[in-house]
Amino acid sequence: MDNICKFLQKLSQKELKIVDEVMSKIQAGDLGDLDNKKLKGFANIFRVRKGNIRIRYQGRVGSSPPIILDVQYRSEKTYRL
């Protein structure tokens, strides 16, 4: 089982709903109302912040959909690859 699935199983229903909505918006490319930021030192890796939860994803290259890399609570190790 990958890390994203393990993390999602630990979330409350309220947090799970928030993550689901954010991930749907990322996949649809509707990032206007999200706290979206490009990570320094990476060509096309971004993060979305929603409360204490961070979702890292690899941005669109051409017409390919974004790839969700990680979903975590904010900590000192959140943005390390």
Q: What is the CATH number of domain 3-73?
A: 3.30.2310.20
**What mean pLDDT do residues 4-19 have?**
92
* Rounded CA separation 74/65 (Å): 25
pTM higher than 0.95:
no
Q: Do residues 19 and 11 make contact, with C-beta atoms less than 8 angstroms apart?
A: yes
pLDDT in tens, 35-71: 999 999 988 899 999 989 999 999 876 668 888 998 9
* Domain assignments of the chain as residue spans, ordered by start: 3-73
